[in-house]
Amino acid sequence: MLNVGRRTLNIGVIAIAILIGNVGNLSLASAQDPQNVNVSEMSDAQINKIISEMNSRNLSLDQAKKLARARGASEVQIAELEQRILSAQQGGSKTRTQTREVKVENNDLSERSVEEDEISAEDKLVFGHALFNNDKLSFEPNVNAPVSDAYVLGPGDEVNIDIYGLSQQSYTALVSHLGNIDIPLIGPIYVGGQTLSSARQIITSKLRTIYSDLGGKTSASIKLGKLRTINVSVMGEVFAPGTYTVSGATSLFNLMHLSGGPTINGSFRDVQLLRDGKVVAHLDVYDFLIKGNASVNVSLRDGDIVMVPTYQKRIVVNGAFKRTGYFEAKEGETSDDIIAFAGGFAPDANVDNIQFTRITVRGKEFMSIKAGDALPVANGDRLEVVSISEERTNGQVSVTGAVFAPGSYQYKSGLKLSELVSQAGGLVENAFLSRGIVSRLKDDRSLESLNFNVAELVNGAYDLPLKDGDAVYITTNEDLRTKRTISITGEVLTPITIEYRENMTLGDAIVLAGGLTDFATPNKVEIYRRLTDEESENSALVSRVLKTVTITKDLAIGSKDNEFVLMPFDVISVHAYPNSSIKGSVKVTGQVKYPGLYSIVSADETITSLIERAGGFSPLADIEGARLYRREVIDDKLKAILKQNQEALIDGEQSSVDVEIKDGYKLIAIELSEIISHPNRYSNIHIRPDDELVVPVKQETVSVSGQVLNSVSLSYIEGTNAKEYVQLAGGFAPNAYKSKLYVVYPNGKAVATKRFLWFKRYPDVVPGSQVVVPEKVKKERIGAPVLVSMSSSVVTMMAIVVNLLKQ
């Protein structure tokens, strides 16, 4: 994109379209007449081509501006094209800009952009900067509002004349470039350069020549309609100096806002308005900022120049003032004026010590002044006020803890401790009476602690004169001991820990826990109690089973209810009926007579009893391939064990391999035929909730996978071993680990190839088996250079050892 420093692309780029002859669909014929160029209909590609062409021709902003005006481009066209180019730049660049705009006569926009990156944090410290860099303050002139009588008419202004009364007529006249308006039957009337008030008098006197009763029964209303556009310039220390085409109602502040206002070196106190080559006004923006004097915001005329010079004096204000930053001073102003500009002091300011620093040829000079000293200020002076420390409060004492109204109270000479406690409402009922504490600041501001007997203070046997700043603390009995609780766990509706209450019985605690569950047994309730200090000295335990009691199911109050009273930190454990914790169901799927979901009816439920409840097997059942799936969390430790089992299998050991599958289930390999034949052995495992027993259909194939030439499923051939199945699959692949071949049976068990001397015994295969050939892991060989290096190291080490032995 076009880089033009502080200024964005100049509004003269329409000249580029004329120079390059053809911009996309913009023909040379239309470009030769700028009035035929419709900027709003130009495509984005045409806009980008104009920018690229200007870059390639190295045209400056002034050259482009002169070319555009020389070819007759209108200001409206130039403003529209600039808006298009600004939009293109903002769409392709990450540079953020602030756009300031003002409405002109034909509701077009005159804009100027100031890059935010050019506005530094230091710029923002200048008092007044926010006035012209605030999104909520645009100072946009209201072109629809009546102008003041002081408005000076010029070419392009529209004058509306309404005659009413005995005669009725309306005239709309445009001020010509000669300064005349033309009224039928009257002729030209010269009003250019006249104020609106003077123009009314001139026009009214001319109207009397055709309206004799004007001023009597006939009246005339003379107003301005659409205002002309004017060219005004802003120069000097502003963010975006240049010439702007704006509405005739534009004011000084509107132009300053468009240009971004004074830079960090610009003056707010001496903005100069030049008209016809002369300075006609020196304007002080502080009059508006501080006093609200709007007369500073003067109206501008065509050809006016606003000059912002550099500041002459700037004072830094910091610390406990209402406003801080850089403030500009005029000749004759003093430190008191600067303090007024800063809005005065903050509430916590130390007004008796205003730190005044001045830069001289010998270095910095420091003075401590006060408000009212009115010390003359110079450029670079610095005013700073420190805040009064809030850490120290005089005339105050405080009391906290076991009183009814803790807090701070006023200290008076002779105040005693008993009087302060009385002011705080006295002691609460559970106040700790053995000891209270007074924290006191010594003369060197270090703390000391004074203790007193609270009971003696209450009885009048003791008292203590207080000092300014004393802090009294009286605690409660509860604060000095561990919070006493009772815990109820087990078969209650809401196992909780509650606050201990004196004389609380077992039944009371269970009621507070919501009562017993349906599985709770009233015959097995245990109470655990902490050991006493003497018991703890002679035991490694911290608690003991105090008692196992029996309660009624309905928790009714019996004759012995109050015999057993709970103590602090007792733990009550309510146990369940035997086997009541066995809940849930097991699923049986596949080739059984009645597959489905079965509830576990006892803790002794086994695989054989479950099959019996399912009606036994169907004729198509593959008993050897039956599997049991169990829901279990597979943690990292268990995964490591599974991996070790797999490695052991590859090394030739026979193992029951648990294989993890989705949804948190793992496979338990079982031998169902062995279980049915010997139901009393350990292999007839017990069923757990959420188990699933799967009895598949008899299978007639064997799959061969891994490092074989053709992974395939083959028909089962009785008496064929694993190696023979590999041969039927095309044989071993080049990288096959032949001696580690293994078979996974339908029930999940796996058997590896066994080896004795030079002989190998390959596993048997049953229908549904998987023959797996693992991949041989290549071992890196040690090269000759490495062997030579290792040998050299060994020889060197041996030489060192020999030398050491000789010493």
The per-residue pLDDT for range 45-63, each reduced to its tens digit, is 777 777 776 666 665 555 5
pLDDT digits (tens, 9 = 90+) for 748-780: 888 888 877 778 888 888 888 889 999 887 666
Can you tell me the distance from the alpha carbon of 353 to that of 368, in angstroms, rounded to the nearest whole number?
Answer: 6
Q: Which two tokens stand for residue 268?
A: 């707010």
pLDDT at 146 > cutoff 90:
no
CA distance 62 to 53: 16
More confidently predicted of 696 and 637: 696
pLDDT computed for residue 443 by the predictor: 84
Average pLDDT over residues 110-118: 46
What was the pLDDT predicted at 609?
A: 86
Q: What is the pLDDT of residues 641-700, one digit of tens each?
A: 656 655 555 454 444 334 444 456 778 888 888 888 888 877 788 888 888 889 888 888
What type of residue sits at position 645? N
Nearest to 427 by CA among 380, 390, 388, 477: 477
Q: What is the pLDDT of residues 151-207, one digit of tens each?
A: 888 888 889 999 998 888 899 888 888 889 988 888 899 998 888 889 999 998 888
The answer to whether residue 145 scores a pLDDT higher than 70 is no
Non-local CB neighbours of 147 within 8 Å, separated by 6+ positions = 196, 224, 227, 248, 249
DSSP state of 531: P
pLDDT band at 739 (very low <50, low <70, confident <90, very high): confident
Rounded CA-CA distance 537/528 in Å is 18
Residues near 175 by beta carbon (within 8 Å), at least 6 away in sequence: 153, 154, 155, 156, 157, 158, 159, 181, 191, 192, 228
Distance between CA atoms of residues 783 and 445, nearest Å = 79
Give the tokens for residue 200: 């009314």
The answer to whether 327 and 383 are in contact (CB under 8 A) is: no
Instruction: Tell me if 428 sits within 8 A of 403, measured CB to CB.
Output: yes
Stretch 21-49: mean pLDDT: 58
> What band does 791 get if pLDDT is binned at 50, 70 and 90?
low
Q: Give the residue carrying structure tokens 């880089």.
A: 3
The SS3 call for residue 310 is strand
Higher pLDDT, 643 or 219: 219
Order of strands across the sheet with 543-549? 496-499, 485-490, 571-576, 520-530, 543-549
Alpha-carbon gap, residue 293 to 343, rounded angstroms:
17
Q: State whether the Cα torsion 713-715-721-726 is positive or negative.
A: negative
The pLDDT of 529-541, averaged and rounded, is: 62
Q: Which residue has the higher pLDDT, 546 or 614?
A: 614
Q: Give me the residue label for tokens 């502003």.
A: 238
For the chain, helix (H) and strand (E) counts, in that order, are 19, 39
Q: What is the pLDDT of residue 539?
A: 54
- Which H/E stretch holds residue 723? helix 722-728
Kindly tell me if the per-residue pLDDT of 227 is higher than 50. yes
Contact 112, 48 (CB under 8 A): no
Which pLDDT score, from 0 to 100, does residue 34 have?
A: 55
Q: Say which range, 10-24, 67-81, 602-616, 733-747, has the weakest mean pLDDT.
A: 10-24
Is residue 576 pLDDT above 70, yes or no?
yes
pLDDT at position 251, please?
84
pTM of the model: 0.44
What is the rounded CA–CA span in Å between residue 454 and residue 434?
A: 6
pLDDT tens, residue by residue, 360-380: 888 889 999 988 899 999 999
| 57/248: higher pLDDT | 248
Q: At what angle do helices 75-92 and 44-57 cross, to 10 degrees?
A: 90
**Is residue 16 scored above 60 in pLDDT?**
no
From 92, 110, 89, 114, select the one nearest 101 (Cα to Cα).
Answer: 110
Determine the pLDDT at residue 738: 84
Q: What are phi and psi of 414, to 5 degrees?
A: 90, 0
| Banded model confidence at residue 96, pLDDT cuts 50, 70, 90 | very low
